[in-house]
Structure 1
Amino acid sequence: MKAVIQVILMGLDSAGKSTLLARLLTGKVVKTSPTVGFNVGTLDLDKKTSLTVWDIGGQKSMRPNWRYYLDDCKALVFVVDSSDPSRLPEAQKVLKKFLSDEKLRGVPLMVLANKKDLPNSVTIREISNQLDLPSYSDRLWEIQACSALKGLGLQQAFISVSKLIKKS
């Protein structure tokens, strides 16, 4: 029987979460609009593992509702727009506040630096430092570059998420 694992996909508005999920599930670029509520899809990684990925709207008004999606969450995938460094401080605050939730204790974190195909995107190291990732010594975490539009790094990232879950 296949293990179905709950994964939460979140981040600030316009980070590219819905585009990323659609690209992952359909292999196509899908025109998206800001998510009100959530999108959900199941990603079959292999014969034994499926990830149910919940893409939750990132607008400020939606963020208080994020906690309602945490039950049975086995990994958190936090998406940032690597072409918009001005929003990294806000992303850092949101991530830190969210990871302090009791339900996320010990839950592995995957940070996806999306929009790496854009010429002005900041480096993984810079994003890691801006988000203060090295301070999360109490959980497994990884950061990877990707491009939802080009489909680069998505499959690999979710295979890594699966490995992080198995390690935790």
Structure 2
Amino acid sequence: MGLRGSKLPEAHVLLLGLDNAGKSTLLYKLRHNACVSTVPTVGFNVEMLEAKKNRKNIAVTLWDVGGQVKMREHWKSFHQDAAAVVFVVDSSDRARVEEARRELEGTLRSEQLRGRPLILIANKQDVNGALTATEMKDTFHMRRICSGRDWYVQPCSASTGFGVEEAFSRVVQLAKLPSDSGAMKENIKDTVHYLKVSRKR
């Protein structure tokens, strides 16, 4: 019986980041344990994985959304019901770190992502001169931009597999499931309230 037919608790996880950050490579390394040569993602890739959270099986759906400038304006249409945000950064490309930081800050301002955990992936650690996890934490002002949410910086190399399993474990551990807290219930309440108000108009 496939995952689709199962009634496991589901966690929708957003995989975001600039183009060429290594999101799709990370996704396929995780899913198939293979280093796949990828082309820039136009639109999105979706993969579903089973994991254990608090000793229970859960289904994790990873949404890898394209990172080119024209795709970034569509990121917000994926925000709803996200259990966590994974933001992948090419830590060897110092010239684009500032651009990545700006995009991440803009993403975290979304009301729909309020309180959602953030896992910052410092990818391409196998490249000489890559920023360390500590440097990434400081450069991205993680303490400031993540006040009110759980966060973690994971060093990783999607091509060699270094840190990939740890990154996924961290995502599963931090992801907010619908049953985890009142957060999702609040979302549903807000939607119901909105529908009632809309009907009266």
- Which of the numbers 103, 110, 115 marks the counterpart of 2:112? 103
CA RMSD of aligned residues (A): 1.3
How far 1:50 sits from its partner (Å)? 2.1
How far 1:143 sits from its partner (Å)? 0.4
How far 1:161 sits from its partner (Å)? 1.1
Question: Where does the alignment leave 5 or more consecutive residues of structure 2 unmatched?
Answer: 1-6, 182-201
- Which of the numbers 149, 155, 159 marks the counterpart of 1:139? 149
Partner of 2:95: 86
More helix by share: 2
**Equivalent residues in 2 for 1:107-118 (5 A)?**
107-118=116-127
1:64 maps to 2:70 = no
Q: Give the Cα separation in 2 of the matches to 1:68 and 1:145.
A: 28
Q: What TM-score does the superposition give when structure 1 sets the normalisation length?
A: 0.95
Partner of 1:160: 170
Partner of 1:17: 23
* Deviation >6 Å, runs of 4+: none
Q: What TM-score does the superposition give when structure 2 sets the normalisation length?
A: 0.80
Q: Deviations over 1:1-55 (max 9, x none)?
A: 4222100000011000001101110011111000000000012223612210000
- Amino acid corresponding to residue 20 of structure 1 in structure 2: L
Question: Where does the alignment leave 5 or more consecutive residues of structure 1 unmatched?
Answer: none
How far 1:144 sits from its partner (Å)? 0.6
Number of equivalenced pairs:
168
**Structure possessing the higher radius of gyration over alpha carbons:** 2
Q: Give the Cα separation in 1 of the matches to 2:11 and 2:89.
A: 23
